[in-house]
Amino acid sequence: MEFIDDRSAGRNIGEEVPQTLFFLKNSDGTILGAVSLRHFLNHTNIVDGGHIGYGICPEYRGNGYGSLILSLALKKLKEMGITKVLVTCDCDNIPSQKVILHNNGVLENQTLDEDGIEINRYWIDNTAGE
């Protein structure tokens, strides 16, 4: 828990940026997935990573939880004042692409990460309802 608190507060994180971790749980408390919200972008996550990193546990994929967790993450980022959100995924990750597009992601470009993997970079206008 100290590690998670430090990351959220920006303590002991080296070159990383502060980020807050949230879990998506069902009514009985089972963790379905997690999302990490980066408080701002640095030189690394402007290319690969973006503002949001999310994942759904394999046994719960295909049930709409990815779209839900991204939607909830966007609401939290909006509360933090982040109105233009970068979300990235591997070019071959079709389920993640669908989740991002479902949440109004607009493909800006494709690039290579530091390992040479092709990355899709999407921007989401997070001002809806203003």
47-83 pLDDT, tens digit per residue, is 888 999 999 999 999 999 999 999 999 999 999 999 9
130 lies in some domain: no
128's CB contacts (< 8 A; 6+ apart) are 104
Q: Is the pLDDT of residue 13 over 60?
A: no
CATH number of the structural domain spanning residue 86: 3.40.630.30
Is the residue at 110 inside a domain? yes
DSSP conformation letters of 10-28: T-S-TTSPPEEEEEEE-TT
pTM for this predicted structure:
0.86
Q: Which of 122, 125, 97 is nearest to 111 (CA)?
A: 122
Look up the domain containing 19 and give its range: 2-125
Q: Looking at the 3D structure of the chain, how many domains does it have?
A: 1
Q: What is the mean pLDDT of the chain?
A: 89
Give domain status of residue 69, yes or no. yes
Per-position DSSP letters for 24-35, written without gaps between them? EE-TT--EEEEE
Are 104 and 110 spatial neighbours (Cβ–Cβ below 8 Å)?
A: no
Q: Who's near 27: CB < 8 A, 6+ residues apart?
A: none
Instruction: List, in sequence order, every residue forming a beta bridge with 38; answer none if it has no partner.
Output: 19
For residue 130, what pLDDT is reported? Answer: 57
